[in-house]
Amino acid sequence: MAIVETLTKELAERLVGDLVRLDQLTLIQSGRDYCDESWAEQHFLMDLPGKWEHSVVALEPESGLLGFAIASRSPHSAVGVYLHRIATDPGIRGGALGRELLQALLDTAVRVDASRVTTSVSTSNAGGIRFFKRAGFRRLNGPEVTEIVHLRGMPSLVVGDCIQETTGHHKYLLGLDLD
Ligand SMILES: CC(C)(COP(=O)(O)OP(=O)(O)OC[C@H]1O[C@@H](n2cnc3c(N)ncnc32)[C@H](O)[C@@H]1OP(=O)(O)O)[C@@H](O)C(=O)NCCC(=O)NCCS
């Protein structure tokens, strides 16, 4: 039975090897549907506003790390709490741990009165899009995407409702309004 808990900086320092391994495994299995490149230890340990309040991990006494959701908080209400990455161990996908991690993260956003939780997902990641839609997220429209790309200072183009990254990769921005 996995326990979902807040990823404090101290816990991240202890788990960083496992976080990097699960991230790499997810990239190997899901490819660019997941992300363009895996994160090194310094990415997981980098301080960002609200990161150690909003990020969560799932731990199991015997298997260790089974999932993570890494998030931070933007000063802009249009962005709110931004989920950078979420992944669960490939052996237990479909077992509701992703939903549990996401719910724990949403709870932290409600606790700080965030107006919204946002994330980006590859347009080709049909499973990931369905996962977020099942949790109540909606696809943000072109003007909303343009505003967020500008507020986050992303070096990306907006094409219709999509972000086109400098790598040419297309992503949707998804959001869940909390108020
Ligand atoms: C996306 C991910 C975190 C979901 O975790 P999970 O533990 O498999 O998801 P859950 O079992 O909690 O599923 C919750 C709901 O989402 C749906 N869902 C999850 N993955 C799905 C998929 N690949 N295809 C269709 N539906 C999916 C489930 O059917 C379930 O729906 P329900 O409410 O009808 O029961 C996990 O599949 C993963 O790590 N994927 C690779 C990384 C990734 O793509 N991350 C998202 C972008 S950063």
pLDDT above 90 for 23: yes
Residue 166's pLDDT is what?
87
Ligand 1 atom 39: residue of nearest CA? 87
Q: Which amino acid is at 101?
A: L
Q: Are 120 and 174 in contact (CB under 8 A)?
A: yes
Burial of 146 from C-beta contacts in 10 A (0-12 / 13-18 / 19+): middle
User: How many angstroms separate the alpha carbon of residue 85 from the centre of ligand 1?
Assistant: 13
Residue 167's pLDDT is what?
86
The pair of three-digit structure tokens given for residue 152, joined into one six-digit string: 């986050």
Ligand 1 atom 9: residue of nearest CA? 98
d(CA 81, CA 115): 8
Cβ 130 under 6 angstroms from ligand 1: yes
Burial of 83 from C-beta contacts in 10 A (0-12 / 13-18 / 19+): buried
Q: Are 46 and 72 in contact (CB under 8 A)?
A: no
Residue 114's pLDDT is what?
97
Residue 87's pLDDT is what?
98
> pLDDT tens digits for 53-101?
999 999 998 889 999 999 999 999 999 999 999 999 999 999 999 999 9
Residue 13's pLDDT is what?
98
pLDDT above 90 for 168: no
d(CA 30, CA 16): 21
> pLDDT tens digits for 133-163?
999 999 999 999 999 999 988 888 999 999 9
